[in-house]
Structure 1
């Protein structure tokens, strides 16, 4: 058992540590933002270049998995209000997802694909879900983005490592992230100070749960389809 775990970790290569960082990094960033908000929020609000600074910092920090998306949304709401704030937040976060895609796809190269080659069933499911291109892949990216159990940064790593089509990744990210970003930004517009515990919304949670169930249902269906296809291939080979 220990040997299997050790071999699995070794097979992950750079993928494992990068995925771990993408999950842990935003959480640490949220703590830092909350602790230092009183020092930078007012100067940023009073700056003539607040929008440019917001976009650049949001793009870099979110794209590098250093802060969570709900922090960007809340700050956008505080700075720009409930009318234009959601548009600024969604533009920044969607752009950051593309930065993550480019960054992680270069860092990871073909490591995940090489790992999948060793797992025939997982590889078939992956190809059915995310390598078919078109509406199927776009729909799956949207559902993944809507799901509350899939963190933004971790999803960026997985989709980038899986070489998902860039256009479908970007469009699916924008559409899937929009409800969450808009609702959290509107919640942020009611705040005067940064409080990352705010921004939860029952309708957002419900939407996320529905997306999660739909994602699991699709993955289950595709898994059965991929398994049947694999069995047929093996039978034909015999």
Structure 2
């Protein structure tokens, strides 16, 4: 058993550590962001170039998996409101996904593909869906991004490692991420800070986030069902 585990870790190569970091990094970043908000949020709000600073920081930090997308969306809502905030958040997060793709593609060779080749069923599904081009791949990326259980950073690593074409990756990411980004940004627009200890902020935010979670659950269920229908034909042909 130990030898199998060692062999599996060796087979992962750079893919394993990058995937692990993409899962852990955003969580730690969210803690750091929240605990330090008193030192930077108000200063950023008063800056004449707050939009540019928000964009550059959001793209760089989210692109290297140091903060999660929901943090970017919440801050966009706080700073820019429910009308223009979602547009800024979508632009920033989509740009961050491009940075992630370019960055991870440089560090990942063909480790994931080598692993998939050892799993005929998984490799078949990959070839049928992600390795194809056009509408099929675009639909696949959109459905993956729509699912609220799929972490942004981890998905970036998987799609980059899977050599998904950049055109489908960017467009699919923008469309698939939009619903959750918009919903969280609107919820954030009801906050005056990231400190939820304030009574009014907390009550409004709880109501907003509850509606957001219900909406995301519905979107996630629909996307999972659609994704399952896409995958099943490929799996059955094995």
Deviations 1:180-219 (A, max 9, x none): 0111111111100115895451112211222123223322
**Contact 1:148 / 1:212 at 8 angstroms: preserved in 2?**
no
2:74 is matched with which residue? 74
1:222 is matched with which residue? 234
User: Displacement, 1:75?
Assistant: 0.3
2:102 is matched with which residue? 102
For 1:40 and 1:60, how far apart are their aligned partners in 2?
Answer: 17
* Pair 1:26 & 2:38 matched: no
2:222 is matched with which residue? 210
User: Displacement, 1:37?
Assistant: 0.7
**Contact 2:77 / 2:186 at 8 angstroms: preserved in 1?**
yes
Deviations 1:70-110 (A, max 9, x none): 00000001001111110000000000001000000111122
For 2:114 and 2:106, how far apart are their aligned partners in 1?
Answer: 15
Task: Flag as ranges the 4+ runs of structure 1 deviating above 4 A.
Answer: 195-198
RMSD: 1.5
**Contact 2:148 / 2:180 at 8 angstroms: preserved in 1?**
no
TM-score after normalising by structure 1? 0.91
For 1:21 and 1:220, how far apart are their aligned partners in 2?
Answer: 31
The 5 A counterparts of 1:169-184 are 169-184=169-184
Residue-pair matches, total: 226
**Contact 1:98 / 1:170 at 8 angstroms: preserved in 2?**
yes
SS in 2 for 1:94: helix
TM-score after normalising by structure 2? 0.91
SS in 1 for 2:36: helix
The 5 A counterparts of 1:44-193 are 44-193=44-193
- Give structure 2 stretches of 5+ with no counterpart: 197-201
- Give structure 1 stretches of 5+ with no counterpart: 228-238
User: Displacement, 1:63?
Assistant: 0.4
For 1:223 and 1:195, how far apart are their aligned partners in 2?
Answer: 47
For 1:111 and 1:203, how far apart are their aligned partners in 2?
Answer: 36
